[in-house]
Chain A
Amino acid sequence: MEAHYWWIIGGVLFVLLNTAAGLIWLERRMLALWQDRYGPNRAGPFGILIVLADTLKLFFKEDWIPPFADKVVFVFAPAVVVASVLMAFAVVPFGPGIVVADMNIGILFFLAMSSLGVYSIVLGGWASNNKYALLGAMRGASQMISYEVFMGLALMGTVILSGTFNLGEIVEAQKGMWYIFPQLLGFVIFFIAGIAETHRLPFDIPEAESELVAGFHSEYSGMKFGMFFIGEYLGITLISSMIVTLYFGGWLGPAFLPGVIWFVIKTFVFIMVFILLRASMPRPRYDQLMEYGWKVLFPLSLLNLLGTAAIKLIIDK
């Protein structure tokens, strides 16, 4: 392997982990801004050193494994979420030529990795041997499995339009027009499914702190909890960057800025939308979420797929 390849891997890892840590600060500041507060503003300029303080605190907290837990699985579960999300980033094209693995099955790989992420919730909840954790794990498993279906189906619209699974080629195919315009419905479904997939706040029923203590990670402490935390923020970043890649033209943009900068700007806009959703949405009930998924989003995504394919056929004729 050539040297620049290692540079890309190292750079991507460095940027991603720092982004995930920085999102702690960003989320708290933005939430505060939207709730007419200040948020952390003491340590360092604009309180940015809260990231350092939080990380140090997580490292030095007591790392407690409950005696009633299944030890091996308990330790193993938090690693799964971070590993699977970081693996999924391997296929995301950050800029022209800046991609870790230029696979021709990029989208499928992303779907596979996000489906492996379910295990961290299920195993974490099961290994905790705690009724709230188990309830959270069950909710998480059924929610994520169902929403994966619509996520995959919504993605297929862009695959039909571009004719490839390769994310880099999908971005290249958006030179004329971003796919948000022909695939608006697909984008909306993908976005909702993405929120459910990262179990972010309107759909955070696996952890639902007002009913299930902290859901699947009730028993976790110290850096194991931190891994779940980082996994969640990495998941937000992943879904945002996938949205940008698939529907908003990835690194494409006016030429006065390099492609990577455009990609980062667009991704951060979507991260902001995620945080705004957290600030403004109430949590739906569990059965409402499943009903909404299977009775509304599933037919809609099938319709979207059918319509896109039909139009594509007619135009190509």
Chain B
Amino acid sequence: MFSLLRSMWLVFLHMFHKRETYQYPEEKAPLPARWRGRIALTRDPDGGERCVGCYLCAAACPVDCISLQAAEAPDGRRYPGFFRINFSRCIFCGFCEEACPTYAIQLLPDFEMAEYDRQNLVYEKEDLLINSQGKYPGYNYYRVAGMAISGKEKGEAQREEPPVNVRSLLP
């Protein structure tokens, strides 16, 4: 009986505590940097697309909401011909981000993407591609990968030896 009265008193004291609520539309909740929110395609420091169209994200996606088509530019860079994410199916698990070898696809701290029309939740490449490097500034896939594109031959990447001429190795 006494413990009941005590718990009533303690609950009553909560009247004078600070309230935990964020008054949402006026006052935004602080999101952590690793918040898994809106999915975006990021760019290199030099402005090129990071995505190389390897399909790993589409394969990793548990709800199959990513679809893309790889293409190759004349200079040798691979890029997605189209890249489509259906956000009405996406569960924001972040597997695509973990699967991406080039840090191209990233989940950003932003959740305000409600729509009145379901069709508007299908994001095309131009909706996804942002003019930013996202969470990994300074990273440039083609600068560290041993792939030849125009303006960078094999062996010119960072921390890379020039390719060995196999014919020169004759005894």
Give the contacting residue for A36; candidates B4, B7, B8, B18; CB below 8 A.
B18
Contact call B21/A276, Cβ cutoff below 8 A: no
Q: Looking at chain B's contact residues, is the secondary structure mostly helix, strand, loop, or mixed?
A: helix
State whether B17 touches A276 (Cβ < 8 A).
Answer: no
Q: Say yes or no for B15: interface residue by CB 8 A criterion.
A: yes
- Among B7, B8, B15, B23, which residue has its beta carbon within 8 angstroms of that of A33? B15
Please, which residues of chain A bring their CB within 8 A of the CB of B8? 276-277, 280-281
B11 touches A36 (CB 8 A): no
For chain B, residues 14 to 37, give those with C-beta under 8 angstroms from any C-beta of chain A. Answer: 14-15, 17-21, 23
Is B12 an interface residue when CB atoms closer than 8 A count as contact?
Answer: yes
- Given the interface pairs A34-B14, A35-B14, the reply to whether A281 lies near B19 with Cβ below 8 Å is no
Within 8 Å of chain B (Cβ to Cβ): is A38?
A: yes
Report the separation of the CA atoms of residues A33 and B18 in the bound assembly, to the nearest whole angstrom.
10
Chain B residues numbered 36-71 whose CB sits less than 8 Å from any CB in chain A: none
Closest to A39 in B: B21
Contact A38 B7 (CB under 8 A): no
Tell yes or no: A279 within 8 A of B by CB: yes
CB of A295 within 8 A of chain B?
no
- Docked-complex contact B17 and A280, CB < 8 angstroms: no
Chain B interface bracket (under 10, 10 to 19, 20 to 34, 35 or more): 10 to 19
Which of A36, A37, A280, A281 is the most central at the interface, judged by chain B CB atoms within 10 Å of its CB? A280
A276-B14 in contact (CB<8A): no
Q: Which of B11, B19, B21 contacts A280 (CB 8 A)?
A: B11
- A272-304: CB near B (< 8 Å → 1, else 0) gives 000011011100000000000000000000000
Give, as a whole number of angstroms, the nearest-CB distance from A54 to chain B.
20
Closest chain-B Cβ to A34's Cβ sits at a distance in Å of 5
Q: Which chain B residues lie closer than 8 Å to A281 at the CB level?
A: 4, 7-8
Return A217 CB to nearest CB of chain B, in Å. Answer: 27
| Residue from B4, B12, B20 in contact with A34 in the complex, judged by beta carbons closer than 8 Å | B12
The answer to whether A33 and B20 touch (CB under 8 A), given A276-B8, A280-B8, is no
Distance, CA A214 to CA B10, complexed state (A) = 29
A276-B12 in contact given A281-B4, A281-B7 (Cβ < 8 Å) = yes
**Closest residue to B25 on the A side, CB-wise?**
A42
Inter-chain CA distance A281–B14, complex, in Å, is 15
- Smallest beta-carbon distance B98→chain A, Å: 36
| B19 engages A36 (CB within 8 Å) | yes
Q: How far is the CA of A242 from the CA of B30 in the complex (A)?
A: 49
Rounded to whole angstroms, the CA-CA distance of A38 and B24 in the bound complex is: 12
Task: Give bound CA distance, A280 to B13, whole Å.
Answer: 11
Contacts of B21 in A (CB 8 A): 36-38
Residues of the B chain whose Cβ atoms lie less than 8 Å from the Cβ of A38 = 19, 21, 23
Q: Which residues of B contact A280 (CB under 8 A)?
A: 7-8, 10-12
Closest chain A CB from B37 CB (angstroms): 24
Residue of A nearest to B1 (CB): A188
Q: Mark B118-160, 1 if CB is under 8 A from A, else 0.
A: 0000000000000000000000000000000000000000000
Q: How far is the CA of A279 from the CA of B12 in the complex (A)?
A: 9
In the complex, how many angstroms separate the beta carbon of A287 from the nearest chain B beta carbon? 19
Closest to A272 in B: B12
Q: How far is the CB of A42 from chain B (nearest CB, A)?
A: 10
Interface string of A36-48 (1 = CB under 8 A from B): 1110000000000
Residues B19 and A34 in contact, CB atoms below 8 Å apart:
no
Q: How far, in angstroms, from A36 to B20 measured CA to CA in the complex?
A: 6
Q: Bound state CA distance, A308 and B12, in angstroms?
A: 33
- 6 example contacts (A-B, Cβ-Cβ < 8 A) are as follows A34-B14, A36-B17, A36-B21, A38-B19, A38-B21, A281-B4
10 A-B pairs besides A34-B15, A37-B19, A276-B12 with CB distance below 8 A are A34-B14, A36-B18, A36-B20, A37-B21, A38-B23, A277-B8, A279-B11, A280-B7, A280-B8, A281-B8
The 5 closest A-B pairs by CB, nearest first: A280-B11, A280-B8, A36-B20, A38-B21, A34-B14
